[in-house]
Structures are given as structure tokens and as C-alpha cells.
Amino acid sequence: MMTALTAFAGYVDAVGYIKLAGLFLSFMSGNSTSLGVNLAAGHVSMVFAILSVVGCFVAGVVIGTLLADTMPTAKTRAILGVETVLVATGLGLTLVGVGFASLMPLVMAMGMQNALHRTIVGADVGKTFVTGVLVALGQAATRAMRSRKWHPEIGLLALSWATFVAGASAGAWTLAATSLVSALLIALGVILVLTIIAFVCER
């Protein structure tokens, strides 16, 4: 499940990056750098666009955390259920030609998804950003070299990063080969399947 969610995050992030002219849907470090650059350049419209993305992401984190804290035994299906609604909303807004705002529900979905991360054999996986994953990978590799023992989290962290990249590649390819509507339809199908799996597994 965590691997699929990581790939999904990469897919959605790539679609947003291409359609929003370099803004990310899940990578707020990159958006924060872009915000600083645009503030310095005086690009007011881009500043407001970036702040909108960051605000939606934080709102998604808040919602996801509230669901995780209040529904601990059913947090996966609750969060994925709301994510499915948000992706469907984004698709609907795209169909009616809303433009920039149509992807804001997906930004919220990416923020929410971070509440689902899990620690498996010491590796924190399932988040929608990978800077921390690469830092943890480097730290685990250092510990492995010093102890001369293989640390299982190295493989999991490397897999998490590679899965995100693969998802991003799939998102970019899909968007180039089809359209934003088709790309979002695929995203909706994926998150719907994951939600159904969560409902079955969390009974």
C-alpha cells in the first residue's frame, strides 16, 4: 500500500508540475524556493499562486492529521476516501474548464496523504516528498558502512525514492501521450482502487 501511495504521489506531482508551469503539488520545498525567487522578482501573480498551493497543502495535512487522530483504527480508509473525493473534484473542475484552481483539490489530497506514512524496519515510508527519504538513506548507508552490516531500511528507502521517480515518469508520459483529463481519470482510478483495498483490509 505504501509503495503504491508513493508512486501515486509521484504521478500527481509530475502532472501538476507540468500543468502549473513548474509548481509542485506535493514538494513544498521546491515551491518555497520558487516563492522566494518570485518575491525577489516582484512576480505578484506567481507569488499568490504559490501561496495558494502551499495553503492547500497545509490544509490537507491538517485534515489528514485530524482524521488520523480521531479515527486511528480506520485512518487509511478515511483519508483515502476523502482523497478520492478530492481527486474526483479536481477532475470535475478540469472538465468544466476552471483552470489553475482545478488542481488545488489534488494539492490538498497530497497534504492529507502524509498522515498515512509508516515506519517499517526503521524506514519512514509513504510520504509525498523524498528529500527526507534521501537524507535517511544516506544516514542508513553511513551506519551500514560503520557497522559493516546491511541495514534493511536502506532497501526500503531506496525503493521508496525509486517508486516516486517511477510514478513521476508515468505521470509525465501519460500527460504527454493523452490529456490532463485522461491523466486525472487514471489518478482517480488508482486512488479508488487503493481506497477499496483499504476498506477491505481495515474491516
Task: Encode pLDDT of 81-112 as tens digits.
Answer: 999 999 999 999 999 988 889 999 999 999 99
Position 172 scores a pLDDT of: 97
Of residues 123 and 87, the one with the higher pLDDT is: 87
Q: Quick one: cell of 81?
A: 476516501
Position 146 scores a pLDDT of: 87
Confidence of residue 12 (pLDDT cuts 50, 70, 90): very high
Which pTM value belongs to this model?
0.89
Q: Which CATH number fits domain 2-201: 1.10.10, 1.20.1250, 2.40.128, 1.10.3470?
A: 1.20.1250
Position 148 scores a pLDDT of: 81
Is residue 106 within 8 Å of 14, Cβ to Cβ? no
Taking residues 170-180, report their average pLDDT: 97
Is residue 117 within 8 Å of 67, Cβ to Cβ? no
3/22 Cα distance (integer angstroms) = 25
Q: What percent of the chain has pLDDT over 70?
A: 93
Backbone conformation region of residue 122, classed left if phi is above 0, alpha if psi is from -120 to 50, else beta: left
Residues in the chain: 203
Q: Where are the domains of the chain?
A: 2-201
Of residues 196 and 133, the one with the higher pLDDT is: 196
